[in-house]
Amino acid sequence: MLAVGLAVLGVAAAAGLTLQAFKDNMMFFVSVTEVVAGEYPKDRNFRVGGLVVDGSIERADGSLDVNFMVTDLRCEIPVMYTGVLPDLFREGQGVVAHGRMDAAGTFVADEVLAKHDENYMAPEVAESLAMQHSDGIAMAASGEQLECDVE
């Protein structure tokens, strides 16, 4: 019975710690608007999440350096990264970058992760969908819909 008691205690403790850890992690990333408003950890690395702005990707010839803008449909920040990007990295795609802000207001990333949504489609279907209604994300990603008014 002692073993059972210990097992139950162990599992309960593990579950508790896990839930606690997830709670701290609930904001898996900071939004772009929060970064612009200065609400981010200044002294350590953090994650920022958003969409890659259309037409903002600049690659330097002969190196793995890449610069792009990330938006949350309100504000935008520039991101600098050196390395191999995931397959899903593209314009309009949701990405999560890990790194810190430099003095010039550029987010220097040491890791860029791409999120994908729960939709699986054939390419032709996706194309015809995009033709029917150029969706809100693409329009908003060009940065014209909402004002980035940060107090």
Question: Where do contacts with another protein occur on this chain (CB under 8 A)?
Answer: 3-4, 7-8, 10-12, 14-15, 18-19, 21-22, 25-29, 47, 49, 84-89, 96, 111-127
Quote the least distance from Cβ 45 to another protein, whole Å. Answer: 12
Nearest distance, CB of residue 13 and another protein, angstroms:
11
3-state secondary structure of 138: helix
- Could you tell me if 70 and 107 are in contact, meaning their C-beta atoms sit under 8 angstroms apart? yes
Structure tokens at 27: 């904001």
Q: How many residues does the chain have?
A: 151
Q: How far is the CB of 55 from another protein (least distance, A)?
A: 19
* CA 121 and chain centroid, separation: 23
Judged by CB, which is closer to another protein: 113, or 139? 113
Residue 81 CA to residue 99 CA, distance in Å, equals 9
Question: Closer to another protein at the Cβ: 84 or 150?
Answer: 84
